[in-house]
Structure 1
Amino acid sequence: MDLLPTPVTQAGRDGLRAVLDKPRTAVVGLDFDGTLAPIVEDPEQARAHPDAVPALAVLAPKVASVAVITGRPAEVAVHHGGFASVPGLEHLTVLGHYGAERWSAATGEVTAPAPHPGVAAVRAELPAVLTRAGASEGTWIEEKGRAVAVHTRRARDPQATFEALRGPLADLAARHGLIVEPGRLVLELRPPGMDKGVALLDHVRRTAAGSVLYAGDDLGDLPAFAAVEKLRADGVPGLLVCSGSTEVTELAERADLVVDGPAGVVALLRALAARIG
């Protein structure tokens, strides 16, 4: 049986206690890549940890909601996660594109507003920008529908390429009303106002949650961490979990609990479900 770890902060212990005491009012928020799915070189090959869906299927009926919050399109996350048509996941919601898209397991449908026109303009100009920056070799562009991302993990010097592209991509984004969000050797160009913090706060308010747990692994999860901290200040207990990474330390420094990557997240979900009973 998986043991339920103890958070290192009092706020985290209070958050965990609130989830356990009143699970029917608790929201469990989870990042996808690096949290439910191991990081891989090709994002299209990312798949949820093999034990993630079984763990979620046991936990989800016991809480108010489980929300997977990701920068990917909702349907892509559903496919890569294997979330569709799974008994027990009726309370699962996937908030794709940082909440711009909402997929509900109960209906199997995605709802979303019209995309920002700047994304198409950026997509058209991006290859030329990479060439001018001398960064076309080894980088690749990920089409994300409502956003576009440039990965440098395959470049000869991934970190140097990442740093060299920050300025040119910020200029490109600004010309078309977008922002650049850095991640683990990836720079994503997307509309402002799209982030995991906004998505998490909206979902917590929709469900009238009495407590929240959020687990993430990357810089893009910092807004969700800030959202949980805001909820705490407003009287809603919360637990911050870092899916441990040696590449990103900012989350670990702010987390109440650090677990060993997706396997550790899965173990935590199983332990929660077992304690709730």
Structure 2
Amino acid sequence: MGSPPHAHPLPTPSTPAGRDGLAALLDRPRQSVVALDFDGTLAEIVPDPERARAHPAAVPALARLAPEVASVAVVTGRPAGVAVRYGGFAGVAGLEHLVVLGHYGSERWDAVTGTVQTPAPHPGVAAVRAELPGFLDSIGAWSGTWIEEKGQAVAVHTRRASDPAAAFEALRDPLAHLAARHGLVLEPGRMVLELRPPGMDKGVALGEYVREVNAEAVLYAGDDLGDLPAFAAVEKLRSDGVPGLLVCSGSTEVTELADRADLLLPGPAAVVGFLAALADRLTGRP
């Protein structure tokens, strides 16, 4: 008898390292971590980030997949509680042990407790928050740009500008200087520039979490520049003998991840389909 039919075909990674990573995950799922970015990976990028929501099939796919692996972690620049709310992750059967690492890992929400652990705010964030409106006005950057409050960080979006890419590039250096003056770092993204505290990124967060759960294989999926440190962390883990699979949720706005990915998928719907395919394979049913 052949293997059972699957509703979602499982794509093949384009690199040997990626194929090894996927094989290790399929062979040892209970020792594997599946880590995922939120915006652009589980949720479509939208002009207003407050309207972002996980793809409708994301939670069902994750709820089938999570019981089969060591852990599923969402690693995001958003506040952990916001990602939980926009993802619809709380109180879902099958996601009892989901972890959300928010603010690039400086915050953590555990489904098992339903609580967020958060550090004391960096004083530079409050200073930037107070200064930023006047700063943008003084450099003539108000038109089409807007500020997003993120608790532990502040972000400036240019997606609504008449020329989003030009506005992004014009703001990049001034905001980098503003961030440095207040002891912060500038994190560029897809038509967004985020000013946040230093010392934590998705690579640090992912590496620490993989070590915490003693994983023997890891998958990471992301779409933006902020995911590059997580890609680097997986590459480091692979050099240390831990197989890994790098998945890029494709975007014409960011090519750096696609160049380093083992598997390129055209956006959140395809990522969710891939997660469903993993669940099909690990549960042995469509």
Scaled by the length of structure 2, the TM-score of the pair is: 0.96
2:30 alignment counterpart: 24
1:82 alignment counterpart: 88
Contact 1:64 1:91 in 2 (8 A): no
1:193 alignment counterpart: 199
Q: Which amino acid aligns with 1:250?
A: E
Divergent runs of 4+, >2 A: none
- Aligned with 2:35: secondary structure? strand
Q: Which amino acid aligns with 2:26?
A: L
How far apart are residue 91 of structure 1 and its match?
A: 2.0
Q: 1:42 aligns with which of 41, 48, 62?
A: 48
State yes or no: 1:177 paired with 2:183.
Answer: yes
Contact 1:215 1:240 in 2 (8 A): yes
Distance 2:112 2:9 in 1: 31
Distance 2:257 2:51 in 1: 25
State yes or no: 1:233 paired with 2:239.
Answer: yes
- For structure 1, the 5+ residue unaligned runs are none
State yes or no: 1:261 paired with 2:283.
Answer: no
Alignment of 1:100-115 (within 5 A): 100-115=106-121
2:17 alignment counterpart: 11
- Aligned with 2:65: secondary structure? helix
How far apart are residue 113 of structure 1 and its match?
A: 1.6
How far apart are residue 276 of structure 1 and its match?
A: 1.2
1:208 alignment counterpart: 214
How far apart are residue 132 of structure 1 and its match?
A: 1.7
Distance 1:147 1:15 in 2: 34
Q: 1:273 aligns with which of 260, 274, 279?
A: 279
How far apart are residue 194 of structure 1 and its match?
A: 2.0
Deviations 1:13-72 (A, max 9, x none): 000000000000000000000000000000000000000000000000100000000011
1:51 alignment counterpart: 57
State yes or no: 1:160 paired with 2:166.
Answer: yes
Distance 1:259 1:159 in 2: 24
How far apart are residue 115 of structure 1 and its match?
A: 1.3
How far apart are residue 246 of structure 1 and its match?
A: 1.0
Percent of counterpart pairs with the same letter? 76
How far apart are residue 160 of structure 1 and its match?
A: 1.0
- For structure 2, the 5+ residue unaligned runs are 1-6
State yes or no: 1:251 paired with 2:257.
Answer: yes
Distance 2:159 2:276 in 1: 32
Distance 1:134 1:163 in 2: 14
2:126 alignment counterpart: 120
User: How many residues are paired up?
Assistant: 277
Distance 1:30 1:22 in 2: 19
Distance 1:6 1:190 in 2: 37
How far apart are residue 73 of structure 1 and its match?
A: 0.5
- Aligned with 1:49: secondary structure? coil
Contact 1:95 1:103 in 2 (8 A): yes
2:142 alignment counterpart: 136
